């Protein structure tokens, strides 16, 4: 079975600071993908970044980067130079690529609040 | 490019009524997913289709829920009869392949009184 754990229910950060959102995962699948989604107060789910388990480098997308530590089974999202518009719920998700039902499994989310 | 389109965005209905949620996936995407989001259970996959064929419906909570995909550009999720515990946000998502990124629609916020 696959499991995603996000241990931070909420985080408060000053504008322009960097922020790290934690995500740990558990899977027996040798190949898997890790995703981060943002859900602002308007409710939509916005895809941010993807990391494959065999990717050699950590994924980056603009101000978003994924700190992937395979041995520790962690896939933390780093947001640099935070902005007020970054305030939202953030979900980590994973999907096995070989075994199991290959369903996308989500964590419980972290609510990020950026203070001016 | 148009993203995933869902309608209605909000639905308020009374217990026992039939509810139909609609989804138009991104053109060219072969996979369509229906999710439900609640405070208690988070995001749960209900069912997904590949090329209009249901592949895994193990997440559908009970027989009151049904989903169809009559063509590549349209899917429905139906609840009949609806119950207050069905109140949730229902998302539709699509992807080009099963292992590719899923793109979500704006969701339908359902309230069953």
Residue-by-residue DSSP string for B73-109: TEEEEEESS--GGG-EEEEEEEESSTTSPPEE---EE
Q: Are B99 and A106 in contact (CB < 8 Å)?
A: no
B75-110: buried (b, 16+ CB within 10 Å) or exposed (e) per residue? bebebeebeeebbbbbbbbbbeebbebbbbbbbbbb
Q: Are B107 and A103 in contact (CB < 8 Å)?
A: no
Residue B35: strand pairing partners: B45, B91
Q: Are A45 and B33 in contact (CB < 8 Å)?
A: no
Q: Give the position of tokens 């995603």.
A: A4
pLDDT of residue A59: 95
Per-residue pLDDT reduced to its tens digit, B23-77: 999 999 999 999 999 999 999 999 999 999 999 898 998 899 999 999 999 999 9
Measured in angstroms, the CA of A20 and the nearest CA of chain B are apart by 22
Beta-carbon contacts of residue B100 (< 8 Å; ≥ 6 apart): none
Residues in A closer than 8 angstroms to B43, CB to CB, are: 91, 106
pLDDT of residue B52: 94
Beta-carbon contacts of residue A103 (< 8 Å; ≥ 6 apart): A2, A95, B45, B48, B56, B59
Q: Give the position of tokens 């922020």.
A: A19
Per-residue pLDDT reduced to its tens digit, B65-107: 999 999 999 999 999 999 999 999 999 999 998 778 899 999 9
Per-residue pLDDT reduced to its tens digit, A2-61: 899 999 999 999 999 999 999 999 988 888 999 999 999 999 999 999 999 999 899 999
Q: Are A97 and B99 in contact (CB < 8 Å)?
A: yes
Measured in angstroms, the CA of A43 and the nearest CA of chain B are apart by 7
Residues in A closer than 8 angstroms to B60, CB to CB, are: none
Among B45, B89, B105, beta carbon nearest to A104 = B45
Q: Give the position of tokens 């985080």.
A: A11
pLDDT of residue B22: 98
Among B58, B91, B101, beta carbon nearest to A50 = B101
């Amino acid at each position: 079975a696959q499991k995603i754990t996000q241990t931070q229910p909420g985080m408060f950060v000053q504008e322009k600071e960097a922020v790290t959102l934690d995500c740990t995962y558990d899977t027996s699948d040798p190949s898997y993908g890790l995703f981060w989604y943002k859900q602002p107060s308007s409710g939509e789910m916005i895809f941010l970044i993807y990391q494959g388990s065999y990717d050699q480098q950590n994924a980056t997308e603009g101000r978003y980067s994924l700190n992937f530590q395979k041995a520790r089974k962690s896939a933390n999202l780093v947001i640099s130079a935070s902005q007020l518009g970054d305030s939202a719920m953030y979900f980590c998700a994973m999907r096995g690529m070989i075994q199991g039902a290959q369903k996308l499994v989500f964590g419980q989310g972290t609510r990020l609040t950026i203070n001016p | 490019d148009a993203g995933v389109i869902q309608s209605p965005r909000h639905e308020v209905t009374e217990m026992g009524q039939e509810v139909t949620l609609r989804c138009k996936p991104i053109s060219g995407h072969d996979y369509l997913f229906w999710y439900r989001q609640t405070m208690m259970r988070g995001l749960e996959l209900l069912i997904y289709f590949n090329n209009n064929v249901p592949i895994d419906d193990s997440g559908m909570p009970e027989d009151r829920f049904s989903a169809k995909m009559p063509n590549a550009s349209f899917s429905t999720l139906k609840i009949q009869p609806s119950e207050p515990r069905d109140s949730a946000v229902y998302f539709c998502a699509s992807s080009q392949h099963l292992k590719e990124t899923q793109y979500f629609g704006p969701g339908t916020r359902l309230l069953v009184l």
